[in-house]
Amino acid sequence: MILFDAVAVSMLLLAPAPPARAGGAELVDPRDGKRYPLVEIAGLTWMARNLDHRSDGSFCYDDDPHHCDTDGALYRWEAALAACPPGWHLASELEWQALELATGLAYTELEQRNDRGTVQGARLKPGGDLGFDVQYAGWRRYEGERYDARGRASAYWTSTESDLAHAMHRDIDTGDDMIWRSPVVKHYALSVRCVRDRYARDEYAGQDTHPAWSPDGGRIAYISNREGVAAGSDINFEVYVLDLATKRERRLTENQDFEADIAWSPDGGRIAFKSHRDGNDEVYLMDADGAGQTNLTRHPASDGGASFSPDGARLVFHSDRDGDKELYLMNADGTDVRRLTDHPAGDHSPRWSPDGTRIAFVSDRDGNDEVYTSRPDGTDVVRVTREPLPDWYPVWAPDGGRLVITRGDPTQDEWVLVVMNPDGSGAEQVYAGNDSGNADWSPDGSTLAFGATTEQGRGRVFLSLRGGSNAEPISGRLAGTFE
């Protein structure tokens, strides 16, 4: 385990707090249009109002929507982890401690529980000089589903667990000016303050690319050569997974070779990927935590591009075992391999449709890489795109009604994302400047993940609303732990 940038953490906790700067800035939540004033404290940008995005696991005090409108929603912890808008996250223990240092709380009190400080909490209260302006929204107990303390106390989740049943929280109330810190049962419903994701300008070199969104929407797997570049190699790509709520990134493979073509199983419990660790490309399968890495294809040819069937029982993949790349089908344990296509051109990069009735893939059978679809048995092949530039990596939207593809000019290294109907009609360019890798949809179809380059020239996984707006890098070291 590698702790996240120890120098940066020390600077975050020990640096003197600059004055808060609100400056009239606000966030408009792209999901529902609600507006939140922003305040910058100790280098972090916070919402200066409680989050009010209604979702499963959120409640309005006394079940009255008016209280959500005025004081924000109350969230169970699991819901709070996923509640913040793209580019924002539930504040961690580390970030709350940075905020507390800005109030003047002693460093020696940060890890203490229960009441801490004397008058420091007053700086976070309505009218306090830091501009944080807590709202006394109360909370919802899990025992008897009772509400309590509205108008008297504020209670805020952190993203940090204390054990399987509890997570850390902060409480500020009208009775004193101290700041309470303790674990709370995760089934309580508390308020949420979101913090803007941040990225150091001198963060690691290397490229993060080819993202794949988990079926539950909480994680994104991708490949990165960050460790390879640090060791002097730019071809050592490994599989990583990013938890979107906690912003923790974890390395799942470690083979000093090239991994690619990530695909989650429909239940989110397994990940298929391509690996070159055995001297040629093979399709591997592992648990979602990186355990149990197993070679499924075990063939001297080049195999890759696997995609699960909607029921998780089978995988479609490409292989050149018969002389050129064709599509093949196998059981999820690697047995019963069958050839689906038979064409002298190269067929590759298959993706199963969500309803299981079609497979999208890429072929140069008409002289240029284009997107095609077929039935799962390889019949009824239909050409989808007809462009002079290559079209790569078709990925179905969760409802099956659209495809996103990567289109570009390899000679100029210029690539765009294009969304279209499955028959190729209604094509719309939604982002220019991705890195020639695939994009993937969030499970609700609202957001795309893809590889692109930051202003600092780093290759990172970006998130963008489907229309291409609000593109923000999402991979990269943040507050928390890098494993």
* pLDDT tens, residue by residue, 405-444: 999 988 888 899 999 999 999 999 999 988 999 999 999 8
Given a cut of 60, is residue 353 above it in pLDDT? yes
pLDDT over threshold 90, residue 364? yes
Confidence check: pLDDT of 458 > 90 = no
**Average pLDDT of the chain to the nearest whole number:** 88
Q: Judge whether residue 457 has pLDDT over 60.
A: yes
The per-residue pLDDT for 477 is 53
Overall average pLDDT of the 37-65 stretch: 93
Q: Span 123-137, mean pLDDT?
A: 95
Model confidence at 5: pLDDT above 70 = no
* Res 111: pLDDT: 85
Query: What's the pLDDT band for 466 if we cut at 50, 70, 90?
Result: low
Please, what are the domains in the chain? 6-196 (no CATH), 208-473 (2.120.10.30)
Predicted pLDDT at 231: 67
Residue 482 scores a pLDDT above 60: no
The reported pTM is 0.67
pLDDT at 350 over 70: yes
Highest mean pLDDT among 94-103, 210-219, 235-244, 473-482: 210-219
Q: How far apart are CA 363 and CA 367, in angstroms?
A: 9
Report pLDDT for 213. 96
Axis crossing angle, helix 93-103 with helix 6-14, rounded to the nearest 10: 30
